[in-house]
A and B are shown apart, each in its own frame.
Chain A
Amino acid sequence: MKWRKRLLQVLRWSVMTVGGVSTAALGFSSAAEQDTGVGALRDSDHDRVLLPNTLNATADDRYAQHRSHSSHSSHRSHRSSGSRGGIRRTVPAPVPQPQESPQPGSPAPSAPSTVAPQSPRGRPQPTPQDLSMMVVRVQAALMRRGFYVGDIDGILGPVTRAGLKAFQKSEGLAQTGRMDIDTLTRLGISIP
């Protein structure tokens, strides 16, 4: 079963991400439990295995659509990040909505980095500042694992992408060079 292979792959993570959930708590039993001792929930809407207590289990791939860009000049007239008070403006998206879960190998459509269209799940796309901060976390995580030796500058350039791909290769993930959910989760980064 495809999902069982996926589960075993995923269980190479630290025990914490899988958690000590009993099968009784999950409310069902399956053949997989004898193999792995942990129950798994199948999400019927997506071909994806969601585990209880899993980092990013309910996140969507908001950071994976981001393409490389030249550095943002340091300026103060940017929109405030996230949902911390202040006045937010939503702008209708001029491009098709991104795929919910991009299949490995197929390119995801790019979203321009200056508007905040609503994703299908209703969460706003990350602002340039959010993306930059996420890249900082990714660069640090890659650096710790020996996949990146450049500056931690929040820019998703060719060197950072190469580091991402090398990491993805070592983890048996698709080498997209993008900050998709699986990659971020393996790096131990939670999507806000």
Chain B
Amino acid sequence: MGKAILKVLTAEEARGSDVDPSRCLIWRDSAEVPRDWSMARRWAGVLCNDRIDEKESAEAAIVLDGIETPGVIAPGDVVRLVEGGPLVSVLYRRGSNSNTLFATERCNSFCVMCSQPPRDVDDRWLVEEMIDTIPLIDCDEVQLGISGGEPTLLGDDLLVVLHQARRHLPETGLHILSNGRRFADSDFARCVWAVRHPNVTWGIPVYSDCREIHDYVVQAKGAWDETLEGLYNLAKFNANIEVRVVVQRGNVERLGELAYFIFRNLTFVKHIAFMGLEPMGFARANYDRIWIDPVDCGEYLKDAAFFLANRGMAVSLYNFPLCTLPGELWPLAQKSISDWKNTYLAECAVCDVRDRCCGFFASIDERWTSRGIRPISASGAFGVARKAGATDEMA
């Protein structure tokens, strides 16, 4: 079945762009034909929310009109069309804060809180898709994610993807989520380095300083050892590494020890992110094993985060609404939730710090909601600042 990966552009932008015309799907605001309209440029086709007159669209190889959900696709997006199919998939969205390429559904770990449970399928077509999509992404895109499953399971296909990104998007940083285990193979780490992509960050989870706890969380014996070996191999080649720690019942009590472990043994790490749970996938089935109310994590988070930050390591908190955190940690909290799965609760309407707060995952429900959720008033915010040692002049 025919498949096409195309760039949606207005005619004006398409004329001025160096995107291959045969990969351009021209965006039309309305069914009315523009004055300088011509398909002679061999564009791939036309896309319009309204219905287009058939006679006039006859020259176009592909016509997408009468879109049922206007607003989903816009100029700048990269879309996948399947011949004869009714769906258009958006692979890249101009203006999104979280564009991510999907590498594979396979994974060699089975984390108890995994939000994207793995499937053992032959999905090498995803590699072709990444290779075809990358040249169509805006070259001024600041950051592009690569995720899965486990991207390193691509083996040398990952090198091809990195090379393609380096070639077509030299200014775009790549942020690749991986468990790092395949980098225990030093040769693979060397090959990745040898592609010389100028700006790659590896986001790699380490859940505990304790082998047994980490292996339990990822449900794979030996994973902790492999991940650490992988981290050292990456460090050997000066890779940018971000350690990610999903905070949950099994590892929260040793967060301080983990921070000490990272400081002493992983000094090359560029950034550490402590992350709240996402209630999707395996997490939902393992609620009893993993759930801990964020307000009960505050002291552990303070211990770990300040231990590292006070020693010059960059620390962030992801997925923790501000009202669930002690005020001292607010400067470290980031707006971390991808726009397409981000939501706020009714209480947030009157919250003064809503704009700085990451809010919630759209998949949240009653049992995944902290008992500490409450709107913060401006005076409340100042109240917290006072507690942290502000002077009277600030009142």
Binding site for B on A (CB under 8 A): 74-82, 84-87, 132-133, 136-137, 139-141, 143-144, 150-154
Contacts and interface: CB of A to CB of B under 8 A. Distances in A.
B194 A87 contact: no
Contacts of A132: 163, 167
Given A85-B5, A152-B195, A77 B42 contact: no
Contacts of B61: 87
- Which 7 pairs across A and B sit closest by C-beta, in order of nearness? A85-B4, A152-B194, A85-B3, A87-B22, A140-B191, A76-B18, A152-B195
Contact of A80 (B2, B22, B83, B160): B22
Interface in B166-194: 167-168, 170, 187, 190-191, 194
Given A85-B3, A136-B195, A152-B196, 16 more contacts: A76-B135, A77-B18, A77-B20, A78-B20, A85-B5, A85-B81, A86-B4, A86-B5, A87-B61, A133-B131, A133-B160, A133-B163, A136-B156, A140-B159, A152-B191, A153-B195
B163 A154 contact: yes
Contacts of A87: 22, 42, 44, 61
B19 interface: yes
A139 B135 CA distance: 22
Contacts of B22: 79-80, 86-87
Contacts of A79: 20, 22
A29 B330 CA distance: 77
Contacts of A77: 18-20
B1 to A, nearest CB: 9
B128 interface: yes
A79 B191 CA distance: 28
A78 B156 CA distance: 23
Interface-centre pick from B19, B156, B168, B190 (highest chain A CB count, 10 A)? B156
Given A74-B167, A87-B22, A143 B196 contact: no
B23 A86 contact: yes
A76 B20 contact: yes
Contact of B163 (A78, A81, A85, A136): A136
Contacts of B18: 75-77
22 contacts: A76-B20, A80-B23, A82-B128, A84-B128, A85-B4, A86-B5, A87-B44, A133-B160, A133-B164, A136-B159, A137-B159, A137-B160, A139-B194, A143-B194, A151-B196, A152-B191, A152-B194, A152-B195, A153-B163, A153-B195, A153-B196, A154-B163
B159 A152 contact: yes
Contacts of A85: 2-5, 81, 83
Contacts of B50: none
A75 B17 CA distance: 11
A136 B187 CA distance: 15
Contacts of A154: 163, 167
B132 interface: yes
B132 A141 contact: no
B19 A81 contact: no
A87 B59 CA distance: 14
A159 to B, nearest CB: 12
A54 to B, nearest CB: 19
**Among A79, A136, A141, A151, which residue has the most Cβ atoms of chain B within 10 A?**
A136
A84 B132 contact: yes
A35 B163 CA distance: 45
Nearest to B185: A144
Contact of B168 (A74, A141, A144): A74
B193 to A, nearest CB: 9
Contacts of B5: 84-86
B383 to A, nearest CB: 54
B196 to A, nearest CB: 5
A86 B191 CA distance: 32
Nearest to A138: B156
A140 B168 CA distance: 20
A80 B187 CA distance: 31
B390 to A, nearest CB: 52
Contacts of B6: 86
Contacts of B168: 74, 76
A153 B5 CA distance: 25
B117 to A, nearest CB: 28
Nearest to A137: B156
A150 B194 contact: yes
Contact of B4 (A84, A140, A141, A143): A84
Contacts of A84: 3-5, 128, 132
